[in-house]
Every structure is written in C-alpha cells, then in structure tokens.
Copies of this chain bind each other. A is one copy, B any other.
C-alpha cells in the first residue's frame, strides 16, 4: 500500500503532468486534471491513497449500519440522484439489506444534535477498497459531510466509473464555517436560498447567516408586529412558513440557520412601520440608496426594549439556532447627537459617548436575548468592557481585532478577508486565515477563534447574479475554514476549484448558466462572441468603488456589463500564466507563444466587432471605451510579441508610449477594469529588455520583468 500525503501527491502528479506535456496549446498547466488526480475541496485532514479501485456500476447500492434516520436516508437519496446524474446509471432507489455486499456502507452511531449546533461532531472516515467503500461517522452530520467527499472522488475511464482506493480521516479545523446572504438590500427568492444551501453543503459549510433586515428591506414576517414586514419590504419578505422551510432544508444538510436583525443602526425599514422607535421624527420611507444611513433605534426609551422583547422573542421561537446576530455595525449616532432627549439621558446616566450608549443598548438587548435563551453575536463594534464573555464577536476589520477579542476571552469569527462582495479573487480570500501563521495567540486563546463567514452583501446582486458573486470563490473560503492550515497551494486550489465549480452548477446554481443570458440580453443578439471576449478579461471594480463610479439605487436593474462580468477572471489567470511561461523561456520565447498570439488576435478582432454591436444596443454604450482599450491592449501585445519572436528590441520611446497607453487602459470604465494589463505590460517591457538577455539567466530575467511591473498598478493585488 502506497501512502502519500495529499498535498505531496498533488505536487508529484502535477510535476509528472508537466513533464508529460511541456508545450501545451490548450488550457493552462494549473487547470488540467491528470487521470487519478484528486479533486477534493475542501481537502480532508488526512488522505492516504491506496492501490485498487471500486467500480461504480448500475448495481451500486448503499447499506446503513447501526444508526439511521430520515435525515441520513434523505442525504443518501440526494447523493444517489447526483451520482446517477453524473454516471447516467439507473441506480437502485432502495437501501441494500445486506451490508456485506453493498458497494457503500454508511455507519453512524447517532443522529447528532437535534438542532445543528456549534458543537456538532462533523468527523468522518472514508475507506475505499476494491470491494467496498465504508463511511464511518459518529453522527449523521459527519456522514453527510462524508457523502460529499464520496461524490467528489468519482472518476471515470475506458473501463467505467470508479472510486480510487483511498483512506480518508477528516474533521474540520474550525467549527463555524458560514456564508452570510444579505437579503435586506435585495430580496432573494426561496429557490435562490435553497440552491445556495445545496452549494454550501457541497463544500461543507455549516452556517447560513441570514441577514434579514436592512435600511432597504425588512424581510421576515412578524405576526406580532406586522407593520415591520408589511410596510418595510415592498411585499418581498419570507413568511414564517417559508422560514421554517429554509431551516428544515438547511438542517437536512447539517447547516445552522442564524438570523441577523441589525440594530440599532441599519434599521430604516423597521421605522417605516414604527417611526416612534426612531431617534429622529418620522415618517420614513424604505431606503433606496447604498451607503451608511442615519436612522437608528432610540436606545433611551423603554418602549424600544419592550418592542425588541416582543419581536426578538417571536424570532427566538421561530429560529431554533442557539445564536442570534444583532448586527450593531456602522451606527454613527448622528441622530443621537441631535436628539436633546437622548443627550439628556446620556448626561443623566453618565454615558460618555455614542459607543458607550450603544454598549448600554447592547446590554439591554443581551438581557432580552438571554431571557429568550439565545446567545448574542454582533459585529465587532459591540466589543466593550461591559460586554459579557458569552457574546461572540464577528470581526469585519481583520484577524487583529479577532485576536484582541480572543485575548480578552471572547469567542469570535472572522469575516474580514472573506468579503466576497468586494470582488477580490479567490486566491486572496484563500490566504486569509482566521489564525494567521504569525498569530500572537496562545493555543488556549486560539480556541476562541471559532471560524469565519463569507459575506455576500446585497447592494449589487439580484437573483440572476448573486450565484456568480458567491461561487465558485466561496468554495475556496470553505476550504480555508475546513482544511489544515498548511493547505495553501493556490495553483492547486484553482485547479480543483474549476472542477468543483462545474459540480456546483449541477445543484442548480447559476454562476455559469446566467452568464450567457446576461450577455445575450445586453447584446440583444444571438452572437455574443466579441462581448464574451471582452467580458472574460474585465472584472467589476474592487472594494466599494462601483457605487461611486456608476451610481444606482436598489430599484435599478442589475443587468449591465458590470453585472454580467465576474470576479476572478480565469482567462486573465490563464493569460498571465502563459505570459510568465513565455518569458521564462527566454531567449526562445516559444512556450505558449501560439496561445498568446491567438489570444491577442481575438482581442483585436473583438475590439473591432464590438463597435457595431454597441451601436445596436444602447445598453452597451458604457462598453465603448473598453472596446477601444481592448484594441490598444492587443496592438501593444502583438507588436511586443513580434519583437520578442524576432529577438529585435523595441526602443525605450516605444516602450514608454505603450506603457502610457496601458496606464490609460488600466483606468476603470463603467465600473469595470481589465485584469490582463500587467501581463501586457510584461510583454512590452520584455521587448525593450532583450539586450539584457546576455547577462541574465531566463529565470532571473522573468523575475526582473515581473518586478518592473509595479504591483500597485495591478487592480487584483490591491488589498
């Protein structure tokens, strides 16, 4: 039996593969899967490959041993549907009665927690031999995690489908691995939530953080205070039956549902129905803009707490999770400053500033939550000397604040680094660690770091686009939170992410599916080729620049090119990788040359073809400067390539002129930016540095070029 650690195995196979085909003309080294290479995401804690393989045929069946319940059976049935879908085999629907001959035996000890909890045991082991696969887990939730691993192991060749011989021992690094979906700013229909819960389960995330209220919308039905949803939601809210449906759906997949009711700020939509709770006189309308708004609950009046007791009590009964998130973020207290009664109250009580006033508010809310048997969690603003130790801190500023809280004895989770709405690439999220390598926390203190959550803030997502903002990048975050800390190979992550991304689409997610529709609608044409070329190498601007560059309201259509374009361009990664390979191949410059030439020609052609397309489709007007830039990039690249090929250096004048043009092209337009600029810069600089070749080795030479392209100029490397 051969025993190799997973990451080493991957390295070996990648190396073998690179030897086998040193000059490839399609795809990149990073994204080709070798036969037998594993596509597990998240990477399990321990993987040992074994010889042999377990064939998967139409006779595949599953037996359960020791403990089984409806949740386990439903989980097995879902696995069978997906396995049948991939193999096109009609698999027996009934469980096998004879454990000894079953293809897969699932052996559980117990149900696990009746309500999914932070202390849920998610451990499982999976051993696959020639004869059988055995999935052993203490709880049904562990088994459900293992079934996902089982599906990811499926492979095929001329002899049919099979699972490779393997021994996996697995458990999560962190117990809190979440995805926040903000349905306040834009409502998301039930099927959007369900398909995202399926996606979460596929990558072993276990907390759905349901951000239910915002200035722009109050999305949950309150039977006791019905003006909340009736006046605060434009009719777009979840009934309590629907909430229960989501909770049951999530529980079936071993996922907690933690609601957030963001107070005292972010509460305009609450105050539309109940203006008397506000810190300034009403009436208010549902907020339609993006940003931080002034309305806040009045923390000085007993009526506010009476109201919160009623509402949070109702919600505590509706949501069974042990935790309730009370937000607490971004309340700037401007209304408090201007309200004489509030000022008088602070003076009377000796509350020295707004932060202290909010701490007072939190104390009161905490008591309400305790009364309803809920633990409190809030954004890191809630951290205050008076905060009791059983509150959980949700960090959006960084691991440092998390560490600070941990040192004070607070449990915390990290979302800084996982703000997927900021449009950064998966690689960046992947390397953000809740407990970084250089942490100053002791082992004991580190236990206070419970995990993290990806945050899908809802300003600029619609049901059509939200999946492409969540997936596939969130799978990389899921791996960070589940897998051992030393699993950090970005290239291998991207290789696996491309496989997992396709599998996520099988669950109904639309991150790829809707791309074509969005482009077709924009082009108002069957032929979207040139637009697709452009869209494949631009990305929405990072951080919160979109709103500044291209202001919209919550009622605006999210159907523009910036909505069709997606973060983390695979085409740009591929082009960068090809250019680096080419430059490393000095002075031949042959590696990937046909690819690069072909890509540049495609850009040139698309740049030309986009003109008439934009003429016909006014919705594409904002793409016109990008189409011009695309031609500029192509021209610069093609000329550089011809000089590189000929070994004929360009003049420094030409180089500087091109770099100036590239700087112009690098400026965002329509809230979109090219993510291939640095690669073209490298080609231009390389063409001017040809004379250096005699004194520099190819590797050093490539490094030198890379250093000459300032990282600050790259939009993807901005923090």
Q: Do the beta carbons of A618 and B156 come within 8 Å of each other?
A: yes
Q: How far is the CA of A616 from the CA of B81 in the complex (A)?
A: 21
Q: A residues 518-562 with Cβ under 8 Å of B?
A: 520-522, 524, 526-527, 552-553, 555-557, 559-560
Q: Do the beta carbons of B618 and A161 come within 8 Å of each other?
A: yes
* A85 adjacent to chain B (CB < 8 Å): yes
Q: How far is the CA of A157 from the CA of B524 in the complex (A)?
A: 11
Q: Do the beta carbons of A616 and B498 come within 8 Å of each other?
A: no
Q: Do the beta carbons of A90 and B520 come within 8 Å of each other?
A: no
Q: How far is the CA of A617 from the CA of B159 in the complex (A)?
A: 10
* A615 adjacent to chain B (CB < 8 Å): yes
Contact of A619 among B156, B189, B552, B559 (CB under 8 A): B156
A520 contacts which chain B residues (CB < 8 A)? 502, 505
Q: Do the beta carbons of B517 and A514 come within 8 Å of each other?
A: no
* A26 adjacent to chain B (CB < 8 Å): yes
Contact of A616 among B84, B157, B510 (CB under 8 A): B157
Instruction: Give per-residue flags for A1-35: 1 if the beta carbon is below 8 A from chain B beta carbons, else 0.
Output: 00000000000000000000000001100010001
Q: Do the beta carbons of A27 and B527 come within 8 Å of each other?
A: yes
* A89 adjacent to chain B (CB < 8 Å): yes
Q: How far is the CA of A394 from the CA of B600 in the complex (A)?
A: 60
Q: Do the beta carbons of A553 and B521 come within 8 Å of each other?
A: no
Residue of chain B at shortest CB distance from A612: B158
Given contacts A156-B524, A160-B618, contact A85 B557 (CB under 8 A): yes
Q: How far is the CB of A611 from chain B (nearest CB, A)?
A: 10
Q: Do the beta carbons of A90 and B156 come within 8 Å of each other?
A: no
Instruction: Give per-residue flags for A146-162: 1 if the beta carbon is below 8 A from chain B beta carbons, else 0.
Output: 00000000001110110
Instruction: Give per-residue flags for A609-624: 1 if the beta carbon is below 8 A from chain B beta carbons, else 0.
Output: 0000001111100000
* A353 adjacent to chain B (CB < 8 Å): no
* A513 adjacent to chain B (CB < 8 Å): yes
Q: Do the beta carbons of A516 and B517 come within 8 Å of each other?
A: no
Q: How far is the CB of A539 from chain B (nearest CB, A)?
A: 18
* A191 adjacent to chain B (CB < 8 Å): yes
Given contacts A27-B527, A85-B559, contact A517 B505 (CB under 8 A): yes
Residue of chain B at shortest CB distance from A158: B615
Q: Do the beta carbons of B524 and A559 come within 8 Å of each other?
A: no
* A95 adjacent to chain B (CB < 8 Å): no
* A169 adjacent to chain B (CB < 8 Å): no
Residue of chain B at shortest CB distance from A501: B526
A521 contacts which chain B residues (CB < 8 A)? 85-86, 502, 506
Q: How far is the CA of A161 from the CA of B619 in the complex (A)?
A: 9
Contact of A506 among B85, B93, B513, B517 (CB under 8 A): B517
Residue of chain B at shortest CB distance from A87: B619
A553 contacts which chain B residues (CB < 8 A)? 90
Q: Do the beta carbons of B86 and A619 come within 8 Å of each other?
A: yes
A618 contacts which chain B residues (CB < 8 A)? 87, 156-158, 160-161
Q: How far is the CB of A608 from chain B (nearest CB, A)?
A: 14
Given contacts A521-B86, A617-B156, contact A498 B514 (CB under 8 A): no
Contact of A513 among B191, B498, B516 (CB under 8 A): B516
Q: How far is the CA of A202 from the CA of B263 in the complex (A)?
A: 43
Q: How far is the CB of A602 from chain B (nearest CB, A)?
A: 15
* A512 adjacent to chain B (CB < 8 Å): yes
Given contacts A157-B616, A526-B502, A619-B156, contact A90 B556 (CB under 8 A): yes
Q: Do the beta carbons of A90 and B513 come within 8 Å of each other?
A: no
Q: How far is the CA of A522 from the CA of B553 in the complex (A)?
A: 41
* A88 adjacent to chain B (CB < 8 Å): yes
Q: Do the beta carbons of B557 and A84 come within 8 Å of each other?
A: yes
Q: How far is the CA of A559 from the CA of B90 in the complex (A)?
A: 11
Given contacts A527-B26, A616-B157, A617-B156, contact A84 B556 (CB under 8 A): yes
Q: Do the beta carbons of A555 and B512 come within 8 Å of each other?
A: no
9 A-B pairs closest in CB distance: A513-B513, A84-B557, A90-B556, A88-B619, A85-B559, A88-B560, A156-B618, A160-B618, A505-B517
Given A87-B557, A88-B560, A93-B555, 7 further pairs, Cβ under 8 A: A27-B526, A87-B619, A90-B552, A90-B553, A156-B524, A156-B616, A498-B526
Interface residues of A (CB under 8 A from B): 26-27, 31, 35, 81, 84-90, 93, 156-158, 160-161, 189, 191, 498, 502, 505-506, 510, 512-514, 516-517, 520-522, 524, 526-527, 552-553, 555-557, 559-560, 615-619
Please, could you name 14 A-B residue pairs with CB atoms under 8 Å apart, sorted by A? A27-B526, A84-B557, A86-B521, A88-B559, A90-B553, A90-B557, A156-B617, A156-B618, A156-B619, A157-B615, A502-B517, A505-B517, A513-B516, A513-B517
